[in-house]
Amino acid sequence: MTADYRFLKACRRQQVDRTPVWMMRQAGRYLKEYRALRARHSFLEMCRTPELAAEVTLQPLRRFDFDAAIIFADILLPLPGMGVDLTFAKGEGPVIGNPVRTAADVEALRPLEPDVHVPFLAAAIRMVRRELEDRAPLIGFSGAPFTLASYVLEGGGSKNFVATKTLMYGEPRVWHRFMEKMSDVVVAYLQYQVEAGVQALQLFDSWVGVLSSGDYREFVLPYSTRVLGALEGTVPLIHFGTDTAALLGTMREAGGDVMGVDWRLDLADAWAILGEDVGVQGNLDPITLYAPPEVIEARVARVLQSAGGRAGHIFNLGHGVLPTTPPEHVEVMVEAVHRLSAR
């Protein structure tokens, strides 16, 4: 009883009746039903309670005609099991109490044991699969080794990635040892989600665009390659980053059935860099959703035109939807994608 989902067909670059569409961060604060639950539970509590995680995963699919669900979780959830102290400060995002600074800190990091450290994630995935039935496929995800490492080194989000690049440039052997460990964690985290039933995976290398292509090749490519290689042949793999115009060709060498790009790069230019034998996901600027409906529709049309009806286009925003986005405008986008791409 496997439904012929247009999202999975597009991942395989097969012909589809309409371009599939979903949104990064589609489960979240722009929905009042999310905020209502969030008012009573912390973010980590929601992630760690399968009933709550399953409920907020499904909320956007009840409202909008999305072609995929993404499991409600976070790229930082593997960290506590490794011995990294993670909290979410109100209004400030993630805070890591014991950032990694030395070779000894790297050695002290423990491997992830998913059954022990993140059992709630498998439980939530099973619950969502049961409730979705044939409505839509479910996407699992992880941070890529670089993006995850950057949080552990910086102690949270960052602008200039000073701690990350200081280790990378100054102590390359420690860097490589750290990335090996992070890669093992990411592989375990993703394999666990596949075993629990996700039907596609997205690897978020959200901040990799701060690197030159030479540094990417030397310090990141081997590890993203290892991760994507370990998952190859399981479910379709989406490999995403932002600000990657200068890196995209090199990133592709790491693997992925579909490359995710942000709004800075025209989709036709992305395919010119990548070659035609790979899918592309993207790439409406999330801020477009603050514009009036006719502007949204015109800009959706522009993205579709740039994709040129190629098999292997998955429509998405260029990055996550923002919390103050009007939900009615998401509806406008989804409807426009399906209507304007009907073959």
Whether 85 is catalytic: no
d(CA 167, CA 176): 10
Site for ligand CP3, residues 192 to 221, rule: CB under 6 A: 204, 206
The tokens describing 179, both together, are 């990335």
Candidate residues 10, 16, 21, 24; the one interacting with ligand CP3 per rule CB under 6 A: 24
Cβ atoms of 72 and 49 closer than 8 Å: no
19 versus 142: smaller Cβ distance to ligand CP3: 142
**Taking CB under 6 A as the rule, which mask of x and - marks residues 295-324 in contact with ligand CP3?**
------------------------xx----
Task: Specify burial of residue 21 (Cβ count, 10 A radius: 0-12, 13-18, 19+).
Answer: buried
Give yes or no for residue 70 binding ligand CP3 (CB under 6 A). yes
The tokens describing 342, both together, are 């009907």
- Supply the minimum distance, in Å, between the C-beta of residue 62 and ligand CP3: 14
d(CA 329, CA 292): 8
Candidate residues 74, 154, 243, 262; the one interacting with ligand CP3 per rule CB under 6 A: 74
d(CA 106, CA 341): 49
Whether 151 is catalytic: yes
The one catalytic residue among 18, 25, 217, 310: 25
- Supply the minimum distance, in Å, between the C-beta of residue 224 and ligand CP3: 15
Site for ligand CP3, residues 149 to 188, rule: CB under 6 A: 157
**Residue 316: is the preceding peptide bond cis (ω within 30°)?**
no
Cβ atoms of 314 and 259 closer than 8 Å: no
Number of residues counted as binding ligand CP3 (CB under 6 A): 22
204 versus 219: smaller Cβ distance to ligand CP3: 204
Whether 29 is catalytic: yes
Q: Which residue has the tokens 């990694």?
A: 100
- Supply the minimum distance, in Å, between the C-beta of residue 39 and ligand CP3: 10
Give yes or no for residue 27 binding ligand CP3 (CB under 6 A). yes
Q: Residues 6 or more apart from 198 whose CB is under 8 A from it?
A: 71, 125, 138, 139, 140, 235
**Taking CB under 6 A as the rule, which mask of x and - marks residues 123-152 in contact with ligand CP3?**
------------------x-----------
Whether 38 is catalytic: yes
DSSP state of 290: G
Q: Which residues are annotated as catalytic? A: 25, 29, 38, 74, 151
